[in-house]
Structure 1
Amino acid sequence: MDKYTLLPEQLLYEGTVTEQQFFTAEPLTEEAILRTHTAAYWTKLRDNTLTRKEARAIGFPMRPDLVARGRVIAQGTLECARFAFRDGVALNIAGGTHHAFADHGEGFCVFNDIAIAANELLHTGEVERVLIVDLDVHQGNGTASLFAQEPRVFTFSMHGARNYPARKERSDLDIGLPDQTGDEVYLDTLRRHLPGLLDGVQPDLVFYLSGVDVLATDKLGRLSMTLQGCKERDRFVLESCHRRNLPVAIAMGGGYSDRLATIIEAHANTYRVAAGLYD
């Protein structure tokens, strides 16, 4: 998508970030993939042998370059987590592929980057407790499934109740919002739940999926948030974490407004808020 090229250009142009703040990830290791995804699924991806039905569930014809791209995105989220330990916050221009399950992909998601990063950090002992805050408009069904039996990872998804996926998985906390939910109700709901989660879970790290498909202009969203409301959402999440000295790794997630400029502005707001809070 064009946004992955245009967003960095916009951030550099306006001075929100500098060239020195960017990093480029290497492909994720096979070992790290297999901590989250099954060997059978990984073999099919590696050898490009997914069936047509399996590829159709993902949403596009699979090619080796798409698998390679997914490995880099997932490694980027893992590295963001490690940068967040040092700097307080780090953001992946891509990521948020929360519809990928252990044994299959769906909803344009091949690897589950946040799940991979969380599992790797738990394996290495870099964290003992993780909170995933998923505010994409679609429920993080793959993430919920992957961590259903993992008490060290708390999954929170606030999403459109009638939106994709039709069959929801069970997160540790799910909040389904009705169609046309606007800024006031959305933000009030988030304010009533997030502080208690942060204090109750007491995570070593927060993964934040900051999808901008909550906007009223989004073709797939069905909610009615404004750009300013979406920015206030990001501000509340990051201020809440910053106040508690909790490192945050952010993945951009979805955004499907008709105007590309709207998508770029909404994603750029996430960076602007982060830049304003963290020195």
Structure 2
Amino acid sequence: MFAYYADHFVLPLPEGHRFPMAKYRMLRDRIAQQLPGVALQVALPAADEDLALAHTPEYIDAIANGTLPPAAQREIGFPWSEAMAERAWRSVGATVAASRQAVHDGVAGNLAGGTHHAYAHKGSGFCVFNDVAVAARRMQAEHAAGRDGGSPPLQVAVIDLDVHQGNGTAHIFQGDDSVFTLSLHGARNFPFRKEAGDLDVDLPDGCGDVEYLQALDEALAVLEQRCTPGLVFYLAGADPHEGDRLGRLAVTHDGLEARDRRVFDWAWQRRIPLVFAMAGGYGNDLEDTIQAQLTTWRVALQYHQRWQNVRP
């Protein structure tokens, strides 16, 4: 199973910055040690024309040339640097590459990504570009180029299980019937002004395994009624975990694994290729975040094997 990464582009963050940049390299190292079935691949930068499928030319230029105003940099949460721009391009490139691989193999992922707070015209909440939005548009374009006149356009479902609502993704795809955005998130968590997605499920502070998994089951049932996707993007945030300092929920490691299995199994039962990204994770003990993410990759590898067993 292919996994794409760009963690060697480390942002020069100020001392004491709250973003746990080290988690990406930690996860890659752990996968290399424990999951030999995962093929680690360096992500190439996304093409500018791909970024333009979901972002405005002015915003892309501002990130490329370092002309982003200070207020816009503060909203993102990262100061601009060449490394910041390079990483942003490659993080999107990782999800685009994983999408193409998932269409071929059934499952593939990005060791980072899930940057769902980025809008078409701006970044926010540690998100520069919206990797899933770009990749969804790119895969729809490639599907359209390769289909005959009788086949339908590619329908895409975004299953966003980061603890924060995917406001940027929801805004980019508002009014677009070809993309269904599903988000389970903390009702009282960032972003405090939510955007309307196709299905938004607000969860109370302290929500535990039973309530969380019931909400997910109900959401997946609604998704099936309202969308017939040909491709699924899964944002497997580790931040619903009870030990996350930004999460406010109380989902255990067992609960997160059950969550992952529900999503992968939902796609597998319908033979829908699935692309996944790590999205958020801010454990008080960073090992909790890495453990949750490693479990996601272990589950993904099991479902990838199922795909290989049925392929001709």
Matches within 5 A, 1:35-114: 35-114=53-132
Match of 1:172 in 2: 198
Q: Which runs of 4+ in 1 moved over 3 A?
A: none
The residue that corresponds to 1:213 in the other structure is 239
Q: State the partner residue of 2:22.
A: 2
Which of residues 19, 23, 28 in structure 1 aligns to 2:46?
28
Tell me how far 1:198 sits from its aligned partner. Answer: 3.3
Q: What amino acid is aligned across from residue 256 of structure 2 in structure 1?
A: C
Task: Give the TM-score normalised by structure 1.
Answer: 0.96
Q: Quick one: distance in 1 between partners of 2:103 and 2:140?
A: 14
Partner of 2:213, secondary structure, is helix
Please name the residue that 2:134 is paired with: 116
> What is the match of residue 138 of structure 1?
164
Unaligned runs of 5+ in 2: 1-20, 145-152, 306-312
Q: In the TM superposition, what whole-angstrom CA distance separates every residue of 1:50-92 from its partner, at most 9, and x where no partner exists?
A: 1111111101211121111011110110111111111111111
Contact 1:204 1:246 in 2 (8 A): yes
> Aligned pairs, how many?
277
CA contact (8 A) 1:195 1:240 kept: no
Where 1:175 maps in the other structure, the secondary structure is strand
The residue type equivalent to 2:286 in the other structure is L
- Structure 2 length normalisation: TM-score? 0.86
| Distance in 1 (alpha carbons) for counterparts of 2:303 and 2:64 | 41
In the alignment, residue 143 of structure 1 is paired with which amino acid? Answer: T
For 2:225 and 2:108, how far apart are their aligned partners in 1? Answer: 21
Amino acid at match of 2:165: Q
Structure 1, unaligned runs of 5 or more? none
Provide the C-alpha distance between the structure 2 equivalents of 1:260 and 1:58, rounded to a whole number of angstroms. Answer: 22
Alignment deviations for residues 170-195 of structure 1 (CA, whole Å, 9 cap, x no partner): 00110000100000000011112203
Question: Within 5 Å, which residues of 2 pair with 1:246-265?
Answer: 246-265=272-291
Deviations 1:138-163 (A, max 9, x none): 00000000000221001111100000
For the aligned residue pairs, the C-alpha RMSD in angstroms reads: 1.2
In structure 2, the residue corresponding to 1:233 is in which secondary structure? helix
Q: Within 5 A, what are the aligned runs for 1:199-278?
A: 200-278=226-304
Sequence identity of aligned pairs in percent?
Answer: 42
Name the structure 1 match of 2:15: none
Between the aligned partners of 1:274 and 1:199, the Cα distance in structure 2 is: 25
Partner of 2:33: 13
Superposed CA deviations along residues 173-225 of structure 1, whole A, max 9, x for unmatched, are: 10000100000000011112203413541101000000010011100000001
Residues 27-56 of structure 1, C-alpha deviations (whole Å, 9 max, x = no match): 111111111110111111111011111111
Find the residue that maps to 1:131 and give its secondary structure: strand
The answer to whether the 8 Å contact 1:12/1:18 transfers is no
Contact 1:252 1:267 in 2 (8 A): yes
Amino acid at match of 2:36: V
8 Å CA contact retained: 1:97, 1:112:
yes
Counterpart Cα distance in 2 of 1:193 and 1:278: 24
